[in-house]
Structure 1
Amino acid sequence: MFKIKRAFAIMLIMLVALMAACSSSTGNDATKDEPKESGEVERTDIILATTTSTQDSGLLDVLIPMFEEQQPYNVKTVAVGTGQALEMGSRGEADALLVHAPDAEQELVDSEDVVNRQKIMYNDFIIVGPADDPAGIKDAAVAEALTKAFDAKATFVSRGDDSGTHKKELALWKEANLDPAENGSYVETGQGMGSSLQVAAEKKGYILTDRATYLAQKDNLGDFEIMVEGDESLLNIYHVMEVNAEKHEKVKKDGAKAFVEFMIAEDTKKTIADFGVEEYGEPLFFLFE
């Protein structure tokens, strides 16, 4: 009788232990599969390849948080020269592009590497240099200014990075029928706009820059002034576009489309139009009517 009771007690203990184990396992699974809290949205990373001028001017510091607040995407910004940004697009290494080299952009449109290209904004290029203006280029036409700087062998700093600004600079030299490399005072930095402006200021040289970056950086440049501005050839146009997901399978199509639509939305346009007014007394970018 004692043996029967003892065996029954052992079986009862084993049964309780087994039930506890099952309960624990079920609890763990329930925790693992527990849905996200109501209202929590899964976010996806997208890559924006853009120019250093949109970053150095501070514009992206305003626009990206706006976009991320409105959409379930986190933007990973790669700020490089426009040439590099376009190469990333042609290889499907970015989801959206924000660049300013219209002729080079058109090549990607023609090759169907990008779609939904939208004209967003513009500002202008300017030539800046030391206030004492050693080559006497102030207020000259662009070709005349470059010729004077070339003949005086004045230091001229170039980004030299295949960016939109670099492409524009080379086009202006070509229009002036000059090869800047023949001038022993021509300096290529291989860097972005902000860094190249610093080099030009340190060397007391001239440089082509977009107005937005110059205004954002001028307090750090010392006695550095605008020398040439207002020429029609100095217009600086920005486009935004999606990298074609039909051609590049890794592209996040929905995220790219959402970013382009955000850039052409009325609230975004107003933000762009107002950007810089309070701090500099003038907008850094202008909208197309």
Structure 2
Amino acid sequence: MQAAKPTRSVLLAAAVAFCALLAGCASSPMPSWKEPADAAYAPVRPAPVEPTVSAVPAVAISTAPPTRAALVAAARAEWDFFGNQQIDMRHDPFSAPRLGLLEDEGEAVQRVGEYWHAVGKNLTGADCQQAWSAAFISWLMVSSNVPPQDFAPNETHFNYLSFLKEREARPSPQFVLRPAASEPIAPGDLICAPRGNNNATTLDEIRPGLAGHCDMVVEVHADQGWAGAIGGNVFNSVSESLIPVDEQGRAQPISQRPWLVVVKNLLP
């Protein structure tokens, strides 16, 4: 039986040990709260709703040609919708400079449902046990008009990574896989890591069905040693993770994010 949803007061309590980053909403602990610089900030708390979905609707797709900038803008817009939650991964344990709207709160319930629609699933944010991070990335691609021959939407990150690896052998790939250890990241790229029992350490080991997580890079500050990447189902929300990078802009592996691959975005 699913445990009770933690209250906001609990989420703002003292530091809680980091464990299941991508687990369902009721079981995933939040990092410790840090008072934001902007004292006027307050987490978004719309009235709860109980939407029902009887069929999987079509995802709204842009009519403009897909671009790197459009993908970044789409990720930022979703982050804004969820209240700009940030997870600072530059130290251990992680902390949350800002908290936002959770997947099973208010308008977020159906918003997560939109992400699931991109992979043909009739689920919502109320289905807390279902990890939706790959559905979120797929939604970004579908809604930004990236054609399926260039990115195959999927509810599992390593499934679409496997597609992209095979797609590289055909003409004009729009996304190419590069080792995270040597490839600098840029806004619009995906940065991906194995998780769980996935022990892949090379691109050759990428195959369908492996567990993992990917975020979309939205800002890189190599001179300051950090980058921001937006992902879904990160502490039960759409969050910007602040990750360490070296002076060349290469993502540095950390315990919960042993970065394996950078998906380089070749869109204009």
What range describes the TM-score normalised by the shorter chain of this pair?
Answer: under 0.3
Relative contact order (alpha carbons < 8 A, sep ≥ 6): 1 or 2 greater? 1
Pick the structure with more helix per residue: 1
Structure having the higher Rg: 1
Larger strand proportion, structure 1 or 2? 1
